[in-house]
Amino acid sequence: MIQQLTEALFPVLSLIVLGAVLGRKTDFFSGPSLSGLVTTVGIPALLLHSVLTMDMNIWGMGEVIVLTLVWLGIMSLVTAGLLAVAGLPVRSYLPALVHPNTGNMGIPVCYALFGPQSLGLAMVISSVIQVSHFTLGIGCLSGKFSFRALIKNGPVLALIAGAILLAAEIRLPSPVMTTLDMLGSITVPVMLMQLGASIANLNLSRVRDMVRPLAFSFYRPLGGLLIAWLLLLVWPLEGMQAQVFMIQCAMPVAVMSYVLAVKYRGPAEDVAVTIPLSLVVSIGIVVGFSLVN
């Protein structure tokens, strides 16, 4: 089990380190163009390909989507309340503390713990979170929410198209699926290297600069796990499905939260520092799950 977890996490950590080296030595990650490519092309392709390749019927998919949306709503309300009590700007920090890294972290971790039968559920949860980045996340950071912008949003359209094709039992031609797979494959590596470049260029001159990210790094995985557990008490899932749901909700701060914080001039440095710190906490939770199961 430890070997499987190491194999799942090694590529993620390696890409972050590579991005840190390139961020110090080159200007590959300066400017918004690379982030724009990922958010407008890579993520929609990745979402559509994931939905069309998962082993789950439309009704099971619908239940998981609704459950994840309920979790997002509760997590958002609790987090907003805590931020307000702490005197921190709610709109600036809410997206990062609510959205877990269910994609490039959650999916491989679930595979390592539960095998290929967990991938469909993990991908559906990840798809909902990705869409939330571009609704709740952008709405908070930009201060604007437009239904017109929502229905024109690439990830939203990709998820809707995938659900329609899945419900109609329509299979896209193999060359189209291969194209989607290739386009989606650019997303995770670029995002992880961008994160590494940002961490490498941080300027934290005082110890107290770490206090807030350290608190956030514990809250994101542990708070998400607790709310997921409480929600499953009233909305139970089967054994493996419940465990996958809790693991996904306990993942660290998402890399996409950092990408959006940079794009909309949010607290990018705090988010960047919180990601690796919360990763350590999430790994501890995952190890605990592996030992119990």
Condensed to tens digits (0 to 9), the pLDDT of residues 53-72 reads 876 667 777 888 899 999 99
The answer, yes or no, to whether residue 265 has pLDDT greater than 50, is: yes
Model confidence band, residue 196 (pLDDT cutoffs 50, 70, 90): confident
Q: Which residue has the higher pLDDT, 26 or 70?
A: 70
What domain range includes position 208? 2-292
Give dist(CA 197, CA 201) in Å, integer. 6
Predicted pLDDT of residue 115: 78
Q: Which residue has the higher pLDDT, 83 or 201?
A: 83
Task: Give 236-255 as a DSSP string.
Answer: ---HHHHHHHHHHHT--B-H
Which of 214, 244, 256, 238 is closest to 99 using CA atoms? 256
Q: Which residue has the higher pLDDT, 90 or 264?
A: 90
Give dist(CA 59, CA 240) in Å, integer. 18
> What's the domain count of the chain?
1
Predicted pLDDT of residue 184: 85
Give dist(CA 127, CA 223) in Å, integer. 21
Model confidence band, residue 262 (pLDDT cutoffs 50, 70, 90): confident
The model's pTM: 0.79
Q: Which of 40-54, 96-110, 184-198 has the highest mean pLDDT?
A: 96-110
**Average pLDDT in the 14-38 region?**
82
The answer, yes or no, to whether residue 123 has pLDDT greater than 60, is: yes
Cα-Cα-Cα-Cα dihedral of 66, 70, 72, 78, to 10°? 180
Average pLDDT taken over every residue of the chain = 84
**Average pLDDT in the 221-238 region?**
94
Burial class (CB in 10 A: 0-12, 13-18, 19+), 229: middle
CATH code of 48's domain: 1.20.1530.20
**36-50, 57-71, 145-159, 275-289: least confidently modelled range:** 145-159
Q: Which residue has the higher pLDDT, 33 or 249?
A: 249
